[in-house]
Amino acid sequence: MVQYLDQFIQMLRSEKYYSPHTCLNYRRDLNQFQAYLAARDIDSWEKVNYNLVSGFAAQRHRQGRKSRTIQRELSSIRSFYQFLIRNNVVAQNPALEVRAPKTDSPLPKTCDAETIDRLLQLPQDSDGLQVRDVAIFELIYSSGLRLAELVNIDLDDIDLAQKHLIVTGKGNKTRHLPIGGKAVVATGRWLKLRQDYCQDTKQKALFLSKQGRRISPRNVQNRLKALIQRQALDQHLSPHMLRHSFATHMLESSSDLRAVQELLGHVNIATTQVYTHLDFQHLAQVYDAAHPRAKRKS
C-alpha cells in the first residue's frame, strides 16, 4: 500500500507540479486514511469500499475535525483512487459518493442591548459629525440595514414623520421598513446640521462626509471604530454586527421568523434561521441554570 502512495506523491510532483507543501498535505491525509484501514486489517487498496471511506469520514467528524478538513481528506482519497484506476490497480473509486458533514456555519456575532445603549449615547459636546455618526448607527440597528443600504439612502427615501424608510437591497429589490423612535430623533438631529456639510444643492444623499459627498462604507466603518474608542467599549463591533444584533433582539422578543426575514430582506428563510440558533443558545443557558433536572451539581 505504501508503494502506491509513494508513486502517487511522485506523480503530483512531476506531472502536476504541486508544491512540496501541497504534496505534504496529500501525504498526511492519505496516511491518516491508511492508518484507519490498518486498524481494520485492510491490507490492500482493492479491498476498500464505500462503507470504509464513509466510516473514515464519520470517525474524523467524531474526533472533532472540521467539515472543511474532512472535505479536503476525502478529496485527497478521491484523487488517489483516480490515480489507482488509471494505473489499473482498482476498477472503481470508493470515495466518489462519500460526502463530508455540512460545512460549519459560524453563528453571527452580536452584542447585547446594554452595549448598544452605551455606544449610542451622544455626549453633550458632540460636533456635527458625531451627531451624524450616532444617527447612522441608530438607523442601522433600528431597521437592520446592510452597510451598502445605509450609505445609499437618499433624502426622499426617509419620512421621519411617518417613521418610514425605503431601502434598496441585494438584487436591486426595495423594501419598506419602520424606524424606531430613537433613530427618528437621532436622524432629525442630523438633518438640522446636514446643510452645514452640503456644498452641492443637488446632493441627495442622507448622510454626507466632511467634504460634503455621500459617505462611503469605509468611512462608516472607521467612524464606528472611533466611536467605540470614545465610548471606551471593550467589544469589537462592526456595522454588520449591529444588523445581526437587530435580528437577534427582534427574534428574542417576538419569535416571528417570517417578519424578521422580511425586515432583513432575506430571499430564503433558511438564511434567517441562523438567528434561531442564537436564540436557542440563550434558551439553553437559561434552561441549564434553572431546571431542577438540568442543574449541575457544584
Q: Of 91, 71, 88, nearest to 7 (Cα)?
A: 88
- Cα gap 101→61, rounded to integer Å: 8
100, 71 in Cβ contact below 8 A? yes
Helices (H), the chain: 2-14, 20-38, 50-62, 67-86, 113-119, 128-143, 147-151, 181-194, 217-230, 239-254, 257-264, 269-272, 274-290
Write down the catalytic residue from 60, 146, 223, 244: 146
Which residue among the candidates 170, 176, 210, 218 is catalytic per the annotation? Answer: 170
Give me the catalytic one of 26, 81, 197, 275. Answer: 275
Q: How far is it, in rounded angstroms, from Cα 259 to Cα 142?
A: 15
243 has catalytic annotation:
yes
Catalytic residue among 132, 194, 223, 243: 243
291 flagged as catalytic: no
* Active-site residue, 170 included: yes
Distance CA 249, CA 279 (A): 9
Residue type, 283: L
The verdict on whether 72 is a catalytic residue reads no
Q: Known catalytic residue: 275?
A: yes
Catalytic residues: 146, 170, 240, 243, 266, 275
